[in-house]
Amino acid sequence: MIYDLFIVGGGINGCGIARDAAGRGLKVFLAEQGDLASGTSSASTKLIHGGLRYLEHYEFRLVREALIEREVLLRQAPHIIWPLRFVLPHHQGLRPRPLIRLGLFIYDHLGGRKLLPPTRSVDLHADITGRPLKPRFVYGYEYSDCWVEDSRLVVLNARDAANRGAEIKTRMKCVSARRNEEHWEIVTQDENGRRDTHQARALVNAAGPWVSEVLGTIESFQSTDRIRLVKGSHIVVDALYDHDRCYIFQNTDGRICFAIPYEQDFTLIGTTDEDYVGDLGKPEITEAETDYLLAAVSEYFRRPVKRADVRWSYSGIRPLYDDGASKAQEATRDYVLRLDAGAGKAPLLSVFGGKITTFRRLAEVVLEKLIPYFPAATGPWTSGVALPGGGFRLGEIEAIVSDLQHRYSFLSPRNVRRMFRAYGTDAYEVFGDARFGPDMGKSFGLLTEREVTYLKDNEWARTPEDILWRRSKLGLHLSQDDQKALAAHMGASGGVPEKIAEEASTETSEDLSEEDEAKPKSKTRKKAKE
């Protein structure tokens, strides 16, 4: 079989392109070397945002496109994407208030805000959002952006692509590619070392941080474009406050830092920005980054945030287009698409950069560039079509949650809401005909055997790590015993991944007090990388 598109990379960009192309009638094959979203797409700040800060770098095109996409995506996936309000306290000596007001005015009006509420001024001494902050912060502004479950967005795109005929293969690495006049020959290797050759009319390199590495495996090909690898890290601490608003803090170095309510019990703090050299598969937070983040938020919160509060951390690498900017934080966040094609040259399209927020538009632009080579392909279609489980309106959320609770009354309200947020209306498929708790099979804390089976059958989950850290963030909530039981359960069919095995062997029963069982262990969690 000759495919139309062979896509390297199962991050948000690869999966978004696969979905768009399959929906236009193209025959698509996507190879991901690890798990879906195992690269940068599970390590973001998880915001669908215009990027207020990018206005300072005059990235108006990107900000406008991203602001428009915010509501397009919110409508398509209202289970995994939801509105957030951000409070920006004014800091004497940093950006002046008129500048902040101007930035927020532009942010509110630059593109497409219909559902989300506008900016308002906040008297931090009177508003609930001022309570956790030091009293010297008096004025603030509150504006809108959205949250996204980043790795679930990737998987839902992959599912939709597969529903439309795409072949999605995980644990399959693209090791070399050769261009003939009419098509590409791509060699892949699976986790058992088996090599296969695939033929495709066009090759899409959506390998994120590995984009240059993949270009290097193409026979007789030289690229002049360069990628700038910029690491960003986050820490997760016990919840720092008890309202639902987020904070965007200005740092003295000109950067900003977010503090966001996370997974009910925690606060997510990030991020850093530093050029990265090292193993692309294993970026890790450094002590200096942790200190930087702790200092950044402690400048604002009444109670200083300390190392002992850190429960987990993760790092990712931004695959930015190298535009020659002097500082990592100034390198463009916009995407650059490079098409290499011509007479007797099967097309090669490489993706540099790109935000989670702009993945759908990026995929449309990729297809616009490739469509001349596929005259039978149909036109753009993704702007108005829901992702799996997301076919409902924002106003219907509470009705669906209470219907789920009514039908599956054996589940706790917290778990019903979690399932709704993960699967939307597909939660009915996960629960199926279950009437009582035992119908869900074995239990691993909040997780049940039925959900595990669903994830293996429908979402390419193979290991406990896929489930605990990418299909969900249950790794933060499940006790060590439940995680070990899951590993043993999946081990029978999917193997126990190194991380779980390592944790299981380093943790003795004395390490686990009752309280610890309910909370993740910072020592082991800090080693985990998504």
Ligand X SMILES: Cc1cc2nc3c(=O)[nH]c(=O)nc-3n(C[C@H](O)[C@H](O)[C@H](O)COP(=O)(O)OP(=O)(O)OC[C@H]3O[C@@H](n4cnc5c(N)ncnc54)[C@H](O)[C@@H]3O)c2cc1C
Which residues lie near ligand X (CB under 6 A)?
8-14, 31-34, 38-41, 43-47, 49, 173-174, 206-210, 214, 232, 271, 316-319, 351, 354-357
CA 59 to chain centre: 22
Beta strands in 149-226 (DSSP E): 167-169, 172-179, 184-190, 195-205
Among the listed residues 221, 279, 293, 219, the one whose alpha carbon sits nearest the alpha carbon of residue 251: 293
Q: How many Å apart are CA 229 and CA 296, to the nearest integer?
A: 23
**How near is the Cβ of 529 to ligand X at its closest, in Å?**
12
Q: Sort 194 into a burial class: Cβ within 10 Å, 0-12 / 13-18 / 19+.
A: exposed
How would you label 496-509 residue by residue, b for 16+ Cβ within 10 Å and e otherwise? bbebbeebbeebee
By beta carbon distance, the residue nearest ligand X is 11
| Comparison of 49 and 525: residue with beta carbon closer to ligand X | 49
| Comparison of 201 and 360: residue with beta carbon closer to ligand X | 360
Q: How many Å apart are CA 273 and CA 254, to the nearest integer?
A: 12
| Comparison of 248 and 419: residue with beta carbon closer to ligand X | 248
Q: How many Å apart are CA 219 and CA 211, to the nearest integer?
A: 15
Cis peptide before 524 (omega within 30 of 0): no
Q: Compute CA distances 405 → 2, 240, 298, 391, 475, whole Å.
A: 47, 29, 40, 19, 24
Determine the 3-state secondary structure of 383 from DSSP.
helix
| Comparison of 119 and 151: residue with beta carbon closer to ligand X | 151
**How near is the Cβ of 13 to ligand X at its closest, in Å?**
4
| Comparison of 140 and 232: residue with beta carbon closer to ligand X | 232
Using left for φ > 0, alpha for ψ between -120 and 50, and beta otherwise, residue 242 falls in: alpha
**How near is the Cβ of 351 to ligand X at its closest, in Å?**
6
**How near is the Cβ of 280 to ligand X at its closest, in Å?**
8
Q: Where are the alpha helices (DSSP H) in 43-141?
A: 60-76, 97-109
Helix 480-494 and helix 498-506, axial crossing angle in degrees, nearest 10 = 140
| Comparison of 129 and 358: residue with beta carbon closer to ligand X | 358
CA distance between the termini of the chain: 35
Phi, psi of 392, deg, nearest 5: -150, 165
Helix-strand-coil percent breakdown of the chain, rounded to 5?
40, 25, 35
Q: How many Å apart are CA 41 and CA 23, to the nearest integer?
A: 22
**How near is the Cβ of 189 to ligand X at its closest, in Å?**
9
Q: How many Å apart are CA 108 and CA 116, to the nearest integer?
A: 9
**How near is the Cβ of 369 to ligand X at its closest, in Å?**
16
**How near is the Cβ of 515 to ligand X at its closest, in Å?**
31
**How near is the Cβ of 67 to ligand X at its closest, in Å?**
12
| Comparison of 46 and 529: residue with beta carbon closer to ligand X | 46
**How near is the Cβ of 217 to ligand X at its closest, in Å?**
7
| Comparison of 332 and 480: residue with beta carbon closer to ligand X | 332
| Comparison of 90 and 159: residue with beta carbon closer to ligand X | 159
| Comparison of 124 and 351: residue with beta carbon closer to ligand X | 351
Q: Where are the alpha helices (DSSP H) in 432-512?
A: 449-458, 464-465, 480-494, 498-506
CB 474 within 8 A of CB 418: no
**How near is the Cβ of 354 to ligand X at its closest, in Å?**
5
**How near is the Cβ of 80 to ligand X at its closest, in Å?**
13
| Comparison of 91 and 318: residue with beta carbon closer to ligand X | 318
Strands 195-205 and 184-190: what pairing? antiparallel
Phi, psi of 411, deg, nearest 5: -90, 145
How would you label 436-465 residue by residue, b for 16+ Cβ within 10 Å and e otherwise? eeeebeeebbbbbebbbebbbebbbbbbbb
Q: How many Å apart are CA 422 and CA 158, to the nearest integer?
A: 15
| Comparison of 440 and 455: residue with beta carbon closer to ligand X | 455
| Comparison of 46 and 462: residue with beta carbon closer to ligand X | 46
**How near is the Cβ of 317 to ligand X at its closest, in Å?**
6
| Comparison of 170 and 480: residue with beta carbon closer to ligand X | 170
Phi, psi of 178, deg, nearest 5: -130, 140
**How near is the Cβ of 37 to ligand X at its closest, in Å?**
6
**How near is the Cβ of 401 to ligand X at its closest, in Å?**
26
Beta bridge partners, 270, equal: 234, 258
